[in-house]
Structure 1
């Protein structure tokens, strides 16, 4: 009886773990025209933030449009070091800026970095 109770408890823990974890679906960069990046293989909504791999690290970009299976992104940083086939990963949550008295008098950009 104790073995079946511990097995049931273990299965319940695993069930909760599976529901809390979300697999990251990523796509690939297929085209860059000016400052517009085009990616396939990932589904993202307009306004959603994505991370694009580059030789200099990850670049933050925002989804500004889509056509058929392609997503159009506008980078919020310099795109130097981006290569064809770079990994594009939609962010699952918006990272907001907490408002408090500590923000008073500070100047920040659209991503929350101090200027």
Structure 2
């Protein structure tokens, strides 16, 4: 076996070791039943509630983040929070047990962000600041600090 071939084999093994390290063998999984646009129908995982974040495996070994938005019988209706390219029938679905959060802090000032708080500009990811749930009630107008100087 040539040195290049050995390196290719090691690269593939390292990729799968990384995937195995991220898996929780005791956590129940679901499977993709159907995909239509950004909507994914999944048979589980069980005990998953509306608003919970799930990760769906894709063909390239990456995970696509989704949010549970409803149920169809015992199946979950998920909305992909990114492109659905690479999702296939029977793709594994992992429940994270978490809801969507966003980092809020001064690092956001002057940045261009998507709806999930991820930078669209060439700057670094926003990882500091306070972490807030993405879905929460807005403060009442009387509880807000008045704006005295426009941006």
Among residues 33, 36, 40, which one is paired with 1:33 in the alignment?
36
CA displacement 1:42-65 (0-9 Å, x = unmatched): 132112111000013110111111
**Residue in 2 aligned with 1:12?**
none
Gaps of 5+ in 1: 1-22
SS at match of 2:102: coil
**Residue in 2 aligned with 1:20?**
none
Q: Normalising to structure 2: TM-score of the pair?
A: 0.56
Among residues 41, 48, 57, which one is paired with 2:52 in the alignment?
48
**Residue in 1 aligned with 2:109?**
104
**2:100, 2:76 → 1: CA distance?**
21
SS at match of 1:91: strand
Q: After alignment, is 99-108 or 64-73 more displaced?
A: 99-108
What are the equivalent positions in structure 2 for 1:17-28 lying under 5 Å apart?
23-28=26-31
Q: After alignment, is 62-71 or 97-106 more displaced?
A: 97-106
Among residues 83, 86, 93, which one is paired with 1:78 in the alignment?
83
Q: Normalising to structure 1: TM-score of the pair?
A: 0.71
Q: After alignment, is 102-111 or 50-59 more displaced?
A: 102-111
How many residue pairs get aligned? The number is 93
RMSD: 1.6
**1:71, 1:102 → 2: CA distance?**
35
